[in-house]
Amino acid sequence: MQLYDDNPTLAGVAKELDESKQGEVFYREYAQPATIAGERLFYIESYGCQMNFSDSEIVASILAESGFRPTRDVEVADLILINTCSIREKAEETVRKRLRVFDQLKRNKPGTMVGVLGCMAERLKAKFLEEEKLVDLVVGPDAYRDLPALVATADDGGKGINVYLSREETYADINPLRLDSNGVAAFISIMRGCDNMCSFCVVPFTRGRERSRDAFSIIAEATELYQRGYREVTLLGQNVDSYKWQNPETEQVVNFAALLEMTAQVHPDLRVRFSTSHPKDITDEVLHTMAAHENICKYIHLPVQSGNSRILELMNRTYDREWYMARIEAIRRIVPECAISSDIIAGFCSETEAEHQDTLSMIEYADYSMSYMFFYSERPGTLAARKYPDDIPLEVKKRRLQEIIRLQAQVSFRHNQRDIGRTFKVLIEGDSRRSSDDFCGRNTQNKMTVFPKVGQYKPGDYVNVKVLEATSATLIGEIVD
Ligand code: 5AD
Ligand code: SF4
């Protein structure tokens, strides 16, 4: 298959980060205009988690195989795709708003096809086609191989829908088309679905049962990325610690620690990250593997959700406050330089002020370098929606969230201030967002670092950066030898 990210017309794709007040993060993805006349063009926009961005690259690869080319210009696209997120109500509202814009484009340019992919497609199924008359395709996360056939159905004037959830699909053999690439860092999806059934979460319903991808295909993908100049891979899964794949020939079982080790051995200059870890599943073996390899980044995203044991029980997180604290202690003991980040939900069903205080004290205790913070949003069909009243008033949820955000900003600031005077190895990712005189890149702890360009360094190079200043979000420094 042709690798489109080697194509200079696809270089420098814009990534827009729009952080809303509630701490939701959406990325929007654009591909560059194609130049060959007569080809059908697709445009894809992604919302939600990293997994969705990774999936969009699989979708792009499948479409490229069937004669489509990517465009960054939605107005010229023959096929407009929106890869959607259902995790919170607000995420769905954002998608609905974008669909109004696409409706208008379709009126201006009849024949344009609009497809809804991902979690909202899976959650709403055929209802989507009733509610959104101008939508032609509704395709769930496990049905992307069917896209060319569904497009053909729509070409014939029908509606294309496939929301079948698979127990096997991992897209292991598909070489993702790196749409939004800086050519330095890439995502590799290692598993799909989630079996955890956290009571607030819609993901098990939209992404189905957990399944792990063939370890050899993962290592092959990492190796190929390294050979093409990439220097960082992030192994992605809803719950990477439950990765488990059995080699059908040797019957040998590869767990996450083993996969991490295999990936680290691809090349010492290929950095390895991973996300997301579950506090109940992250093992000491994983931590020892991290400690043993310099190129496994010292950073763990370990969502706590709440710092209170009663709320954690209602959330069905299967650990309590003490268990979580013990995992933090294990990380500090085995990987002392490791930064830890979190996801936090404010105002879950029946949460008291004292229980909210437990979440605040956990932020202090865990000394998170950063967190993604949300207020609870009831999702239809989840265990919490069926069992517990959503009884915390919106103003209270918002006030608690603000308290969490304010404290996390202080803790992040303190965390970063401690780095002043220290020198870190940083992988250059590209120009800083503020100035083309500066580069940006992350250190092992996943902290964004900005520093003036000097010498012949280029994206993909490692440099040593001495930190001179720090905000709650960024380290600012200079290259030292
Ligand atoms: N309401 C608010 N936040 C949620 N998350 C998942 N479901 C909900 C919900 N219903 C958050 C969790 C999860 C992150 C991806 O999104 O913190 O870790
Ligand atoms: Fe949702 Fe919990 Fe699975 Fe994460 S681990 S995707 S929060 S069910």
Identify the residue whose tokens are 């509606």: 159
Is ligand 1 within 6 A of the CB of residue 459? no
Identify the residue whose tokens are 């080697």: 6
Is ligand 2 within 6 A of the CB of residue 236? no
The pLDDT assigned to 344 comes to: 98
Percent of the chain with pLDDT over 90: 91
3-state secondary structure 319-359: CCHHHHHHHHHHHHHHCCCCEEEEEEEECCCCCCHHHHHHH
Is ligand 1 within 6 A of the CB of residue 342? no
Q: Would you place residue 17 in the very low, low, confident or very high pLDDT band (cuts 50, 70, 90)? A: very low
Q: Which contiguous run of DSSP H or E holds residue 100?
A: helix 89-108
Q: Are 52 and 31 in contact (CB under 8 A)?
A: no
- Residues making up the chain, counted from first to last: 481
Q: Are 173 and 216 in contact (CB under 8 A)?
A: no
Q: Parallel, antiparallel, or unpaired for β 474-480 and 299-301?
A: unpaired
Tokens linked to 438: 């500066």
345, 377, 383, best to mutate for ligand 1 pocket (most atoms within 8 Å of CB): 345
C-alpha 238 – ligand 2 centre gap (Å)? 6
Residues 6+ apart with CB under 8 A from 470: 413, 416, 417, 419, 420, 476
Is ligand 2 within 6 A of the CB of residue 196? yes
In the predicted structure, residue 14 carries a pLDDT above the cut 50: no
442: phi then psi, degrees, rounded to nearest 5: -110, 150
196, 202, 343, 375, best to mutate for ligand 1 pocket (most atoms within 8 Å of CB): 343
Is ligand 1 within 6 A of the CB of residue 317? no
When the candidates are 3.40.50.300, 3.40.1590.10, 1.10.260.40, 3.80.30.20, the CATH number that belongs to 185-416 is 3.80.30.20
In the predicted structure, residue 34 carries a pLDDT above the cut 80: no
Q: Which contiguous run of DSSP H or E holds residue 351?
A: none
For 238-267, the pLDDT digits (tens) are: 999 999 999 999 999 999 999 999 999 999
In the predicted structure, residue 28 carries a pLDDT above the cut 50: no
Q: How far apart are CA 350 and CA 18, in angstroms?
A: 31
The pLDDT assigned to 22 comes to: 25
The pLDDT assigned to 387 comes to: 97
- Domain boundaries defined on the chain: 8-162, 185-416, 423-480
Q: Provide the 10 A C-beta neighbour count for residue 163.
A: 18
C-alpha 51 – ligand 2 centre gap (Å)? 13
Q: Are 348 and 315 in contact (CB under 8 A)?
A: yes
The pLDDT assigned to 36 comes to: 57
Q: Which residues of 258-281 are buried (b: 16+ CB within 10 A; e: fewer)?
A: bbbbbbbebeeebbbbbbbbbbeb
The pLDDT assigned to 38 comes to: 59
Is ligand 1 within 6 A of the CB of residue 205? no
Average confidence score pLDDT of the chain = 91
**What's the CATH fold of domain 423-480?**
OB fold (Dihydrolipoamide Acetyltransferase, E2P) (2.40.50)
The pLDDT assigned to 116 comes to: 97
For 389-403, the pLDDT digits (tens) are: 999 999 999 999 999
**Which amino acid does the sequence have at 315?**
M
In the predicted structure, residue 32 carries a pLDDT above the cut 80: no
CATH superfamily of 8-162: Methylthiotransferase, N-terminal domain (3.40.50.12160)
The pLDDT assigned to 3 comes to: 26
C-alpha 201 – ligand 1 centre gap (Å)? 6
What does the pLDDT average to over 47-57? Answer: 94
Q: How far apart are CA 343 and CA 277, in angstroms?
A: 11
